[in-house]
Structure 1
Amino acid sequence: MGDTRLIHGRYRLLEVIGRGGMGEVWRATDESLGRGVAVKCLKPLGPQHDPNFVRVLRERFRREARVAASLQHRGVTVVHDFGESDGTLFLVMELLEGRNLSQLLEDNKHHPLPVHDVVDIAEQVADALAYTHRQGIVHRDLKPANIMRLSDGAVKICDFGIARLGADIGFTSRLTGTGIAMGTPHYMSPEQISGGHVDHRSDLYSLGCVLYEIATGVPPFDQDDAWAVLVGHRDTPPEPLRHHRAELPATFERIVLDLLAKAPEQRPADADDLRRRITGARHVLTPAGPLAGSNGSLTTPGTGHLTGHHAPYLHALPPQPQPPYTSAPVGHLPAWTRSMTSGRRAVGTAGPRTAVPAPDPAAGLTGEWTTATATAPPSVVLAFTPPPPSRERPTPSPELLAVLAGRHSAGLSLGRLGRWEEAGEVHRAVAAEREHALGPDHPDTLASRYEVGFTLSRTGRAADALREFGRVSEGRARVLGPDHPDTLTARQEMAYVLGRLGRHFEAHQVYASVLAARERTMGPDHPDTLRCRHNLAFTLSRLGRLEESYRMAHDVAGSRARLLGPDHPDTLVTLYEVAYTLGQLGRWTEALRTYHEVAAARTRALGPDHPDTLAARYEVGISLGRLGRSHEALELYRDLVAARTRVHGPDDAETLRARHGLGVNLGRLARWEEAVAEAREVGAIRERVLGPDHPDTLVSCREVAVGLGWLGRWSDALAVYQRVARARERVLGPDHPDTLASRNDEAQCLEQLGRHTEAVELYRQVAALRERRSTGGS
C-alpha cells in the first residue's frame, strides 16, 4: 500500500511502524476525528486464493475483529474499527506511546530488567489474561513483541483474536513436512508444538517464557535451530532462573517454573490464580530498587529503533538519557483499577471520554486532535487573529492547528483534575477559534463543543449542557451520520442531562432510540450498547417502571460479567443498580445479598476503604435495617463511620450519611435518647457545612423530631416538624411531596397533643394539595 494512501475514506496511512508474518502496521491519521491511530493491514487477498477460502477468511476476520473490539480492559489494546479496502483487511487501533518488551530488552543490551519491573509486568499481564480468558479468548501468540510497556507504566497485550486468525488461516510459517504451526518458537507451549488441545494454560506457558527472558536476559530455550527450540519446550526441563541471575527471589523463580510445566494441568489453574500468587508474594518479590549484578546491571539505552520484531500499534518513543526502567514498585491494587472513576451509576460519563496520549514533556502540549506533525512549543503565544473575510475559508496553518490541539488537551487535563470551570473556559475559547478556522461542523470543532457541554454538565448548568449536546449531535449527524458512534455518544449525553433535569420520560425516549441504533450497528453485547442499556434501566426505575428496570439491569449485569468479568467496575455498577431496584420493589433479602456481593468484590479489587466499597457497605446497612436486623446494621454503621472519618474526615457528607444511618438504627432499637443526640449532632454539622435549608440538614431535623415524639416530648417535636415544613415549602414549594410529608408529620403531632381540629384542617389541606398535584391543576 502506497504512502499517504487514504483507506475507507477516513484513515490516512503515513508510515510503516512494524511488519510481521500477517502484514504491516502503519501510523495513520483518522481524518474524521483528527487523531493518530495505528492501522494493521493484513496480507492482500489476491486472485491466487480460492474464492471459498477468501469468503471464509473475510467472515473469520470480521468475527475475530469483533471479538478484539469487544475487549474492554486497561491491559488490552483498544480496537476502534475494522474493514476491507481494495482486498486488504485492516484493523484500526489505538496508537500507543511506549516500547514493547522485546525493544526494552534491546535498549538494555539484552540485560534483564529490574526485578520490581518484571513483577509489575507479570502482575499486569496476568490481570489482562484473567479478563480475556474469562471471555473464552486465548491469545496463542504471547511474546515480548506483543506486550507493550507504555510511558505511564501501564502494560498492554496486543493482537488478541488476530493471532488466532493467523494460526487458523495459515499465515504463519510451517515446518516442512510436519504440519506443525511454527508461530514464534521461543514462546510456544508443548501442546502447541505437538498439535494438541490448546486452552488458556497455553497462554500461561507463553507468559512464563516471556517472564523468564525479561528476568534473565535469555529465553528458557535459546538454541539457534528452530527445531531444537521446539524440542526443548516439549522435552527438556528449563534451567532454573537463578542459574542465570542469582539475586532473583526464589519465590519468583518458583512461579515462573510452575508456568513452564510441560503438562498444562501442572501449571497454575488460571491467570487469576497466577495473579493472586504474584500479589500475595509482592513483599518478597519486589526489592526496594533496581538490582545490580553481573547480568542485571542497568545500562544506558541505545538508539531504540524498530527491528524485525513486530511492534503492533506502537508509536515509538525515543530513548531517554536515563536507565530504561526507574519506576517505583506499584501498590497492592490490580493494574486495571488505576485511574478508575467512581460513582454509583455509569450514566453517560464512562463511554464518551476520550483517552489522551501522555504528552512529551520536551515538546510542549500536544493532543489527540492535532492534525499536523508539528507541535507548539511552550513559548507559543496562544492567540488567534481571524483571517480576512473571504468567500472560501482559507486553510488554517499547521501551527495554528497544533496550538489549538494543545489547548484542547490542556482543557481535558483540567477536567481530569476536577477544575471544570477552568476547563470550560478553555474549551469555549478553542471551540470558537476552531469554528472560525475550520467551520462549525468540522469534527475538531464539534469535539470542542462536546467538551463544553461536558463541563457545563459537571458544573450544574444542565440546561445549557443540553443545548450544547443537542448542537453537537445535530452537527455530527450531518457530518458523520445519525448512527455514527460519536453521534450516538452526544445523544446519550443529552439523555443523561435530561435525567438530571428530571425529564425522565424524554431521557427514556432518547436512550431507547440510541440503544436501538447501537444494537443495530454494534451488536447487543458491545460495551457501548451495554452502557446504554444500563442507562435505560436506571431511567426506567426513575419512571416507576421497576419490574422492567430490574429485568434490564439484571440482563446487563449478566452480560457484563460474561464479557468483562464479575469484578469489573462496570459489572459491579450495574449489579449495584440491580440491588437498588430490588430494594425499591421491597425485595430486601435479595437486595441485601446483591449489595453484599458488590461490597465483597469491591473490597477485593479496590480495598476496604475505597469510596465505592464504602458506598456498597452503606447500602448493606440500609438493607439490614429494612429487614429488621438493626443490631447488625448498627455495628456495620459504627465501622463505616470510623472508615469514612479516617478516609474523608468527620465533616464529609458521606461520613454524616453513615452517622445518620447509625442514629436511625439506634431509634429502631428503641435507644431514643442516643438516637436524638446523634441526630442533633449530625444536624448541627450539616447546618454549618451545608446550610440550614439543605435537604440533608432537614432530614436530620426530622429525625430529631421523630425521636422526640417517641420520648413523649410532643410539643418539642411539633416545633421541629413545623420548622422542617416551612423550610421545605420555602425551598421546594407548597405541593412538593417532601413538603406534604412534613405537613402530614405536623398533623400527626397535633393529634398526639389533642389538637384534633387543627390536625383535621391540616390533613384536609394536604389532601387538597395532593389532589391538585396529581391532576396538574393550579
Structure 2
Amino acid sequence: MAETRLIQSRYRLIELIGRGGMGEVWRALDESLGRQVAVKCLKPVGPQHDGAFTRVLRERFRREARVAASLQHRGVTVVHDFGEDEGMPYLVMELLDGRNLSQLLEENEQHPLPVEHVVDIAEQVADALGYTHRRGIVHRDLKPANIMRLTDGTVKICDFGIARPDHGIGMSSRLTTTGLAMGTPHYMSPEQISGKEVDHRSDLYSLGCVLYEIATGAPPFDQEDAWAVLVGHRDTPPEPPRTHRAELPGFFDRVVLDLLAKAPDERPADAGDLRRRIVLGRTGGRPALGPGPLARPGTGLPPVPREKALPAWTRSMTAGRPATGSTPPPAERPDPAAGLTGRWTAATPAAPDTGSFVSVSAGPPAADLLATLEGRHSAGIDLGRLGRWAEAAQVHREVAAQRLRLLGPDHPDTLAARYEVAYTLGRLGRWAEALETYQDVARIRETVLGADHPDTFAARYEAGIGLGRLGRDAEALEVYRSLVEDRTRTAGEAAPETLRARHGLGVSLGRLGRWEEALAEAREVCALRERTLGPDHPDTVVSRREVATGLGWLGRWSEALVAYRQVAEARTRTLGPDHPRTLAARQDEAHCRERLGQT
C-alpha cells in the first residue's frame, strides 16, 4: 500500500504505525476536515483462504466498527467512519498519543507501574466499563494490549472486535464459526473458559487480571503450561497482590481479590460498584465490600468453589505468553508468540502493535505473507478444537506447502505446520500417512533443533501413538522406552512429559499381553501423577483407569472394582454425573460387579 494512497477521496495514508498478521494501522489525514486520524485496514486475503475464514474476519472487523461507533465516552476509542475501498474494509478512529498497558510494562522492563498510576487506571477503566455495560456491551477480551494510557493520563479501552452487543446493534454474535480465539487465556474468566454464557461480570474478572499484572509485573496465573493457566483461573486462589508488592494499599488488594472471585455472583455487582470502592479507598473512606467472597478461615483468601472441569477443547489450547511477556519461556523452548522472527527471517523492528492483530516484524518482501500464514496456522488449530478436522487438515496442508516454498523444508515453522498436518490426519483415521509425516518431522527436527529439543521429543511421542494405532505395538514400545530414558535424563522422572511417555510404554506392554509389567508401570505413573498433579487431574484419572484395566486382565476383579470406582468418583467430581466419560466409568464398574457375580 503506497504512502500516498487516498481512501474514498478523503483519507490520505501517511505513516504506518501498527501492523499485524491480518491488518495495518496508519496515521492518516482526513482531508475533508483537516485533522489527523488513525485508519485501520483489513488487508486483502488471497484465494488460498477458505470462505468461512474470510467471512469471519470481515464480520469481526465490522463488529468492532459498529460496536465502537455506538459508544461515546472519554474512556472508549472514538470511531469516526467505516467503509470499504476497492474491497478493503477500513475503520477511521481518533489518533491516540500514548501506549497500551502491555507496552508500558515492556518499556518499564516488566517492573510494575507506579502505585498512583495503577489506582488511576483502575478507576478510569471501571468508569468506562460502567458506561459500556450500561449500553449492553460486554468486551470479552479485556487485556493490557487493549487498554491505552495517553500522554495526558487519559485511559481508553480499545478493540471491540469480539465484544457482545445488545440486540439493538443488529449483528450476529456467533463469530466463532472458524474457531477464532474468543479471549486471551491469561485474562479469561472461569465461565468464559468453560464455554458458559458470560455477562458484564466476566469483564470485571478480566480487569482484575489486568490490574494484578500492572500492579505486580505478572498476571495472577503466569504459567507456561496451558492447562495450569486454565486450572488456575478455575479453582486456584490467587496470591494477594501485596504478597508481591507490599507498598500496594490494602483497599486495592481487597478490590483485586474480589474481582478475581471464581463465581460471578461473588464479584462486585457492576463496574459502578467497583469504581465506588476505588474512589472510597483512594480518598481514605472505607469501601463497601458488597457481595465479595467469604474468606477461607485463617487465609483471608476467597474459597475454592466446586465447579465442573474445563471442557475438552481447552486441553489443546496454547497458553502462550501474556501480552507483556512477563515470564520468558525456557531457553530451549521456542516462543509461540514470537512467530516468524529471529535468525530465520532477517527482521527489522516492527511498528507498534495495535493489540488487534498478531504482531510481526517487518522484514523481507515475504513478511506479510508469512504473517498471514501464521494467522492461518492458528485458525487451523482452532478449527480442530471445534472438531472440524477435514477443514483443519486442508488449512494446515496449505500453510505447510507455502511455508515450504518460502522458508524451506528444515525451517521450524514449516515443520510445525507439517506436525499439525500429521495430527489432523490421525484424527481423521489416516494413521499410515500421519505416522510417515511424524517420523519425517522427528528426523528433521533432530538434525535442525537437536535430539533433546522438546519439539523433537513431541514428534517422537506422536510417532509412537501412530505405531500403536496401526497395531505395530512392539515398535511403539521401543519408541516409548527410548523416549522415557531421554525425557528422564533431560527433565526428571516426575516431569509431565516423562510420565506421558511412561504411560504410552505401559499401554504398549498391555497390548503385547505383558500385563504384569503393564500394571506395575501404570501404578508407578499413577502414583507420581497423583503426587505432582493431584488426584483429580485428568492425567491421573487416566492412569488410574489403566491400573484398573491391568487388574481386570489379570483377573483381579475385586481390586479392579475399587480402582474403577475411584475413576468414576473423580470424574463425577470434575465432569459431573452425566458426562459421557463418567458414564463410561460407571459402566466399567458395573462390568466388574458382573464378573464378581454382583448385581
Following TM superposition, by how much is the alpha carbon of 1:220 offset from its aligned partner in structure 2, in angstroms? Answer: 13
Q: For 2:454, which of 482, 485, 504 is the aligned residue?
A: 485
User: Within 5 A, what are the aligned runs for 1:637-656?
Assistant: none
Structure 2 residue corresponding to 1:517, chosen from 486, 505, 508:
486
8 Å contact from structure 1 (residues 356, 368) kept in 2: no
Asked whether the 8 Å contact 2:142–2:206 carries over to 1, the reply is no
TM-superposed deviation, 1:570: 1.2
- In the other structure, the counterpart of 1:98 is 143
In the TM superposition, residue 369 of structure 1 has moved relative to its aligned partner by 3.8
* Unpaired stretches in structure 1, ≥5 consecutive residues: 1-13, 27-95, 126-138, 164-180, 190-204, 225-238, 260-265, 280-331, 342-349, 360-365, 378-393, 632-778
Residue of structure 1 equivalent to 2:515: 546
Q: Distance in 2 between matches of 1:118 and 1:541?
A: 48
Tell me whether 1:184 sits opposite 2:245 in the alignment. Answer: yes
* Matched-pair contact (CA < 8 Å) for 1:16–1:25: no
The alignment status of 1:147 with 2:219, answered yes or no, reads: yes
Counterpart pick for 1:605 among 574, 580, 595: 574
Question: Which shifted more, 609-618 or 437-446?
Answer: 609-618
Find the counterpart in structure 1 of residue 541 from structure 2. 572
Shift of 1:107: 5.9
- Matching of residues 344-359 of structure 1 within 5 Å: 354=318
User: Secondary structure at 1:583's aligned position in 2?
Assistant: helix
Q: What is residue 123 of structure 2 aligned with on the other side?
A: none
Q: 2:321, 2:442 → 1: CA distance?
A: 25
Whole-Å Cα distance in 2 between the matches of residues 357 and 115 of structure 1?
25
Per the alignment, residue 52 of structure 2 pairs with none
Counterpart pick for 1:274 among 303, 307, 317: 303
Structure exhibiting the larger radius of gyration computed from Cα positions: 1
**Separation in 2 of the partners of 1:428 and 1:513?**
30
Matched-pair contact (CA < 8 Å) for 2:209–2:220? no
Matched, 1:506 2:506: no
Q: Cα distance, 1:581 vs. partner?
A: 1.1
- Separation in structure 2 between the aligned mates of residue 147 and residue 98 of structure 1, nearest angstrom: 10
Deviation at 1:445, TM superposition (A): 0.7
Residue pair 1:424, 1:455 contacting (<8 A) in 2 also? yes
1:229-248 → structure 2 map (5 Å cutoff): 244-245=287-288, 248=290
1:721 matched residue in structure 2? none
How many residue pairs were aligned? 374
Instruction: Tell me, yes or no, if the aligned pair for 2:216 and 2:244 is still in contact at 8 Å.
Output: no
- 1:398 partnered with 2:367: yes
Contact 2:487 2:498 survives alignment (8 Å):
yes
Greater CA deviation, 589-598 or 489-498?
Answer: 589-598
Deviation at residue 182 of structure 1 after TM alignment: 8.6
String of CA shifts for 1:270-312, please: whole Å, max 9, x gaps: x7x9213xx5xxxxxxxxxxxxxxxxxxxxxxxxxxxxxxxxx
Which digits, 9 at most, give the CA deviation of each residue in 1:486-512, with x for residues without a partner? 001001111100000100000000111
Cα distance change, pair 614–465 in 1 and its aligned pair in 2 (3 A):
same
Aligned 8 A contact 1:596 1:616 in 2: yes
Distance 1:115 1:409, change over 3 A: closer
Higher normalized helix content (fraction of residues): 1
Residues 124, 183 of structure 1: alpha-carbon distance in 2 compared, 3 angstrom cutoff: closer
* CA distance in structure 2 between the partners assigned to 1:477 and 1:493 by the alignment: 15
Corresponding residue for 1:583? 552
Contact in 2 for aligned 1:582/1:591 (Cα 8 Å): yes
Unaligned runs of 5+ in 2: 1-101, 113-140, 158-188, 190-198, 223-228, 261-267, 269-273, 324-335, 342-346, 355-362
Q: Secondary structure in 2 aligned to 1:586?
A: coil
For the 8 Å contact 1:515–1:532, the answer to whether it is kept is yes
Counterpart selection for 1:596 from 561, 565, 574: 565
Q: Using the TM superposition, give the Cα deviation of residue 524 of structure 1 relative to its aligned residue in structure 2, in angstroms.
A: 1.2
Secondary structure of 2:373's counterpart equals helix
Identical counterparts, % of pairs? 39
What is the letter of the counterpart of residue 419 of structure 2?
A: Y
**TM-score w.r.t. length of structure 2:** 0.52
Q: Secondary structure at the match of 1:274?
A: coil
Letter in 2 for 1:581: G
Once the two structures are superposed, residues 448-500 of structure 1 have per-residue CA deviations (whole angstroms, 9 ceiling, x without a partner) of 11111111111111111111111101110110001111001001111100000
Distance 1:566 1:188, change over 3 A: farther
CA distance in 2, matches of 1:517, 1:444: 24
Match for 1:275: what amino acid?
Answer: V
1:439 corresponding residue in structure 2: 408
Q: Is the 8 A contact 1:356 1:409 kept in 2?
A: no
Rounded Cα–Cα distance in structure 2 between residues aligned with 1:142 and 1:339: 30
Amino acid at match of 1:184: R
Deviation sequence 1:355-401 (CA, Å, 0-9, x none): 57999xxxxxx987444758999xxxxxxxxxxxxxxxx95511121
Amino acid at match of 1:333: K
- Give matches, 1:527-542, under 5 Å: 527-542=496-511
Residues of 1 paired with 2:577 and 2:403: CA distance? 46
SS of the equivalent of 1:411 reads helix
- TM-aligned CA distance change 1:396 to 1:520, over 3 Å: farther
Task: Describe the shift of the 1:550–1:531 C-alpha distance in structure 2 as closer, same or farther (beyond 3 A).
Answer: same
Of 465, 471, 474, which residue of structure 1 is paired with 2:443? 474
AA at the equivalent of 1:339? W
Q: Secondary structure at the match of 1:482?
A: coil
